[in-house]
Structure 1
Amino acid sequence: MSLKVKPPYRAEQLGSLKRPQFLLEKREQFDAGKCTAEELKTAEDEAIRGIVQMQREVGIKSITDGEFRRHMFFEGVFDQMEGMKFIPEVLLHMFKDYVPDVAGFKKLAFKNAPSYVCESKLRRTKPFYLAQFEALKALTSPAEHKNLKLTVCAPEWYHLRHGEYAYPKDVYANDDAYFADIAVAYRAEFAELYAAGCRHIQIDDPLLAYFCADSMITGMQEVGLDPDAVLDTYIRAYNACLEGRPADLVVGLHLCRGNFKDGMHFSEGGYDRIAIKLFQQINVDTYYLEYDTPRAGTFEPLKFLPKHKSVILGLVSSKLPELEDKELLKRKVHDAAAIIASGPERRTVEEALHQICISPQCGFASHSEGNKVSSDDMIKKLTLVVETSKELWADA
């Protein structure tokens, strides 16, 4: 499989964007049974037209629909898959305390929460994201279709959260068997999206960043789990999901440490603990990495980035309205390039610089309510990302 040296564009945004108030209100009406699905779709279309135009105007070329047809960023796969069961109120003991966001929610005194668990063999009997991609195509010009980016759920989303409760042992004998059927579903989805013209997929996976957190490592060990073995299971799952994909289908992997209401994060810790496995064993083309605060650690782990992959540095906060300093952003990019160049797979700083792109550290609304960042703040930050990239790279 041939991998790209960089994703399509130097300046990226990470999927979820600030939803307009009229869309939030319409979704509330729909949830309350006060409007139809068609009326909601009309509002979604209107909002997406506006957010697409915003991306055009600031210079973002890898256009997304802002995830405006979702409530949460991880929707789309397991809520659509045969064999998954929706449980309105999962007992709290079925959520694993070593998972940082689970621990965070329990501290907030969350009661029994909704979730999905496997109850029978998993099968993709209908598309996951095809309708969202086709709808975005319908709202953009043919010239833009090759640039459209789709964000998707991580394959281990419910497995990590529920541990031994993720699937019945009389359905799947072990984790590899469970993920084998998930991989079949992802491969079918990617093939269908590719046939529809999709060439740019971003897998959103904050869970992998949790393996950088001492709290999760210690918590797993306390209940008898080997964190390295669990991570290895997830890497095998990823590579099975990506097996056989077309060479011109760019797939990126986004890691962050939480982006809940009011910018709440759930974990801390640099990428050092997982860097070699993350960069050298998972068969993706590029990595979207949180790097806007010290909790994400230093650039040192980037020295393990192979020459044939790229990294998008999430240097701009999507949680806080304050605008970053452009010159400081540029210095950080050059610092990262110097570290990449110094790694075991030697290259020049200039070569390393061309493996880098920049973006906000996460989306602006991982859940529909979003962060305490206004639409104007979001536009200023995305404009800053574009302007900075143009000053750093001639091909921006």
Structure 2
Amino acid sequence: MSAKTSAPFRAEIIGSQKRPVALLDKRAQLDAGKCTRDELRAVEDQAISDEVGKLQRAGIKAVTDGEFRRHMFFDGFFDNLDGMVEVRDPGREMYKMYVPDVKGFFESHAEKPASTMVCKGKLVRNRPMYRPEFEYTASLVKPEEVKNVKITLAAPEWYHLRHGEHAFDRSVYSTDEEYFADIAKAYREELADLYDAGCRNVQFDDPILAYFCATSMLEGMKAEGQDPAKVLDQYIQLYNDCVRDAPADMVIGLHLCRGNFKDGMHFSEGGYEHISKKLFNELNAHVYYLEYDTERAGGFEPLADLPANKSVVLGLVSSKFPQLEKKEDLIARINEAADFVARGANQTREEALERLCISPHWCGMASHAEGNPVGYDDVWKKLDLVVETAKAVWEDA
């Protein structure tokens, strides 16, 4: 796929959006047994319809449903996969404490995970997962725009890194490779189903890969006898097995971040130089959505490792605070990033800019239902700024 095709829009969003109060209230009613799932779905439908309309009016072409039907960004895949079992109130012993968000929950956050999932049987996909979400959002746009609708997917290695040897029952799968093989098979089936529904734009949401930029995790893995480079290679191979049958006109996106929880909390730090060569050159994605709104993600230098046939969406606008960034600063940062991209591919800045986009860096302002301490109006001001900046860089130049 050409770089031009894999970066069709200059102003992008990551995925989930800040939930309207009415939606949060209705979901709380469902949890309390005070409404039916059908009543909740009607509120979700209306909220998604409103959100898509606002995104289109703001100038965002790759619209999403805001993940309004999910509580957490990784919902929808493993919880619909036969063989996965929910574990309520999991103990510390089930987790790998070197994983930054796990450590954050157990050691420095008021809440610990209320539940998790582990594999207790052979993994089989026997029902639609994300297709219903996609089809409803697709019904809200013109037929010629369906190909632009983006659906976000859970990271395939999500539970494996968190639980290590506890991730699956060894009487079901004797090796990681066997376990990964059935996960990849399920993803291939899901992508085929989405494609059949008209989906041409998918994005894996994956903070796990960014954790390999965190020195604390790398050291913690080594202390437990793990080889971080080998594990990263396993995960890259898992991704490639997941997407290996995706048709050529299906854009595969990969979003990395370092945590985006309540009150703007993050979990890890470290620049992409730890993983950029493998991430960009060995993992078969077309476009990378990268966190760049704070110093904790490092500089743009690793973008020099980006091959000439791939694209990057620069997450330059923050979800962590309501203050609005300055357009001129964003333009300067885009040009700075383009210079590193150009250097690596032996291109001009203008050529490199053709492979860049800008987005707010949020797991859409809300990687979980409650969202960050940014007001609803602030979200739209930031989206407007992203669109204005994109026009200034790519249309007015």
Gaps of 5+ in 2: none
Q: Which residue matches 2:16?
A: 16
Q: Distance in 2 between matches of 1:45 and 1:4?
A: 34
Q: Distance in 1 between matches of 2:121 and 2:49?
A: 40
- Aligned pairs for 1:1-396 within 5 A: 2=1, 4-5=3-4, 6-107=6-107, 108-111=109-112, 113-343=114-344, 345-362=345-362, 363-394=364-395
**Superposed displacement of residue 139, structure 1:** 2.9
- 8 A contact 2:105–2:113 mirrored in 1: no
Three-state SS of the structure 2 residue aligned to 1:258 is: coil
Gaps of 5+ in 1: none
**Superposed displacement of residue 143, structure 1:** 3.4
Q: Distance in 2 between matches of 1:224 and 1:391?
A: 50
- 8 A contact 1:91–1:113 mirrored in 2: no
**Superposed displacement of residue 113, structure 1:** 3.0
1:385–1:92 distance in 2 versus 1, CA, 3 Å? same
Question: What root-mean-square deviation, in Å, do the aligned CA atoms of Structure 1 and Structure 2 show?
Answer: 1.3
Normalising to structure 2: TM-score of the pair?
Answer: 0.97
**Superposed displacement of residue 395, structure 1:** 9.5
Which deviates further from its counterpart, 170-179 or 12-21? Answer: 170-179
1:134–1:395 distance in 2 versus 1, CA, 3 Å? farther
- 8 A contact 2:100–2:268 mirrored in 1: yes
Normalising to structure 1: TM-score of the pair?
Answer: 0.97
Residue type of the alignment partner of 1:87: V
- 8 A contact 1:99–1:216 mirrored in 2: yes
1:29-57 deviation digits (Å, cap 9, x = unpaired):
11111111110010001111111111011
Matched residue count: 394
1:221–1:136 distance in 2 versus 1, CA, 3 Å? same
**Superposed displacement of residue 111, structure 1:** 4.7
Q: Distance in 1 between matches of 2:149 and 2:244?
A: 22
**Superposed displacement of residue 95, structure 1:** 1.1
1:3–1:162 distance in 2 versus 1, CA, 3 Å? farther
- 8 A contact 2:52–2:64 mirrored in 1: yes
**Superposed displacement of residue 173, structure 1:** 1.9
Percentage of matched positions with identical amino acids: 58
- 8 A contact 1:153–1:204 mirrored in 2: yes
**Superposed displacement of residue 112, structure 1:** 6.2
- 8 A contact 1:3–1:247 mirrored in 2: no
Three-state SS of the structure 2 residue aligned to 1:360 is: strand
Q: Distance in 1 between matches of 2:134 and 2:7?
A: 19
Residue type of the alignment partner of 2:348: T
Q: Distance in 1 between matches of 2:88 and 2:257?
A: 27
Q: Distance in 2 between matches of 1:143 and 1:352?
A: 28
Q: Distance in 1 between matches of 2:143 and 2:320?
A: 33
